[in-house]
Chains A and B, each alone.
Chain A
Amino acid sequence: AQSVTQLDSQVPVFEEAPVELRCNYSSSVSVYLFWYVQYPNQGLQLLLKYLSGSTLVKGINGFEAEFNKSQTSFHLRKPSVHISDTAEYFCASYTDKLIFGTGTRLQVFP
């Protein structure tokens, strides 16, 4: 069965600092991987996705992620965060449905 683990429930960081949100997945078959962002009282917005090809994936708002098959990881990174990046971030894997991690709350301080 597939599963997704987000290792950090909260990540505090100062504005303009780099950030990495960690995600590990497990699956017995090939998976597609996603990162979503959720602002308060809103639905989920897709940041980026890995389907195949290049292991470095670039998404919206300056985010990128690297697919590492040997470490079964798909960590999300941003070189310089803004206050507006404060939100909940979810990693998810897909076979015929999305399986989400428990989320990481990114809190950006001025």
Chain B
Amino acid sequence: DTGVSQDPRHKITKRGQNVTFRCDPISEHNRLYWYRQTLGQGPEFLTYFQNEAQLEKSRLLSDRFSAERPKGSFSTLEIQRTEQGDSAMYLCASSLGVEQFFGPGTRLTVL
């Protein structure tokens, strides 16, 4: 069991570009969560999947954000037309029950 992995670990992009992040959960976990953490704040919930179904989306998730989990395994989070306010750490977590296991995060910097 290698834990939750995220790729890339760091991403620098220019405003207006699209970016995509990947999360690979612990293999037997059926739930997968995305959170966003800005500097000096706690993580904020964005969305979660149970298997391939996206069950809840936060109001923080604007139309420029989309997440998928096509086969109920890995997930992608895409941000279109990035803005400077999107700069943050994007955390992925997976779970089988209540306890969530976090990946190392992807740090996005939008210039």
Interface residues of A (CB under 8 A from B): 4, 6, 32, 34, 36, 41-46, 49, 51, 90, 92, 94, 96-103
Instruction: Tell me if A102 and B105 are in contact (CB < 8 A).
Output: no
Residue numbers in B under 8 Å from A100 (CB-CB)? 42-44
Instruction: Tell me if A98 and B100 are in contact (CB < 8 A).
Output: yes
Instruction: Tell me if A102 and B104 are in contact (CB < 8 A).
Output: no
Complex CA gap A92/B99 in Å reads 11
Instruction: Tell me if B43 and A98 are in contact (CB < 8 A).
Output: yes
Q: CB < 8 Å: which of B41, B48, B98, B102 contacts A103?
A: B41
Known: A41-B107, A43-B103, A46-B99. A102 touches B41 (CB 8 A): yes
Complex CA gap A32/B56 in Å reads 19
B33 within 8 A of A: yes
Complex CA gap A93/B36 in Å reads 16
B32-48: which residues lie under 8 A (CB-CB) from chain A? 33, 35, 40-45, 48
Closest beta carbon of chain B to A101's beta carbon, Å? 5
Residue numbers in B under 8 Å from A32 (CB-CB)? 98
Q: How many residues of B contact A (CB 8 A)?
A: 22
Q: CB < 8 Å: which of B40, B44, B98 contacts A94?
A: B98
Complex CA gap A58/B45 in Å reads 27
Interface residues of B (CB under 8 A from A): 4, 33, 35, 40-45, 48, 56, 91, 93, 98-105, 107
Residue of A nearest to B92 (CB): A43
Closest beta carbon of chain B to A31's beta carbon, Å? 10
Residue numbers in A under 8 Å from B99 (CB-CB)? 34, 46, 49
Known: A41-B107, A43-B103, A43-B105. A96 touches B41 (CB 8 A): no
Residue numbers in B under 8 Å from A51 (CB-CB)? 98
User: What 10 A-B pairs have minimum CB-CB distances, sorted nearest first?
Assistant: A100-B42, A43-B102, A44-B102, A43-B104, A97-B45, A100-B43, A103-B42, A102-B42, A43-B105, A90-B42
